Amino acid sequence: MIYVALLRGINVGGKNKVDMKKLKQAFEEAGMSSVTTYINSGNIVFVDNNFSTDQLAPILEEAIYSHFGLQSNVLIYNSEEFQGIARAIPENWSNDQQMKSDALFLWEDVDGETVLDQLVIKPDIDRVRYVPGAILWSVDRDKVTKSGMIKIIGSALYQRVTVRNVNTVRKITALLQKMENKNTGLS
């Protein structure tokens, strides 16, 4: 099965530095195959047919700790789950000079529509949606500092999410589709 691993808190502000080539090697040594990383923020697409989704996170967290001495939380989605989140992002949402749009991927213990109750949402500024596995958020760049969503930083909920901009989510989705095509002989 094809999976996406999202690592939290690596290569942020010069802290918890992890080289992606070495991270790929750590995943391979943990038994994962067809490992592909995307940018330095800890996005890994891989294949595994031996473990369940629930088993993968602790295995990979241990691999990261043993290779890098870092305790990084790993969030795992199978290809179908991840692509479902990506499809829920409105096509007109972008991450560019005019708009900031992110997916806040949720750990299972906070994954539910009631998570929105923990957020400060300003309806005239923030565009926020819950989809299973993530909160989707978009705001015009000139209103980011007025957004209620920035109040999530430093909250208890913030410790249970890992954020990727929509451009990254779409690129990971393209990698998943390429890997699926390759694995089914369609490429």
pLDDT, one tens digit for every residue, the chain (187 residues):
999 999 987 766 666 778 889 999 999 999 999 999 998 888 999 999 999 988 999 999 999 999 998 888 899 999 999 999 999 999 999 999 999 999 999 999 999 999 999 999 999 999 999 999 999 999 999 999 999 988 898 889 999 999 999 999 999 999 999 998 887 654 4
Angle between helix axes 79-88 and 166-183 (nearest 10 degrees) is 140
What pTM was computed for the model? 0.92
| Helix/strand/coil for 165 | strand
d(CA 81, CA 70): 27
As given in the structure block, the two tokens for residue 99 are 């708009």
d(CA 120, CA 128): 10
DSSP designation for 114: G
Give burial (CB, 10 Å; 0-12/13-18/19+) of 81: middle
Per the DSSP assignment, residues forming a β-bridge with 134 are: 105, 131
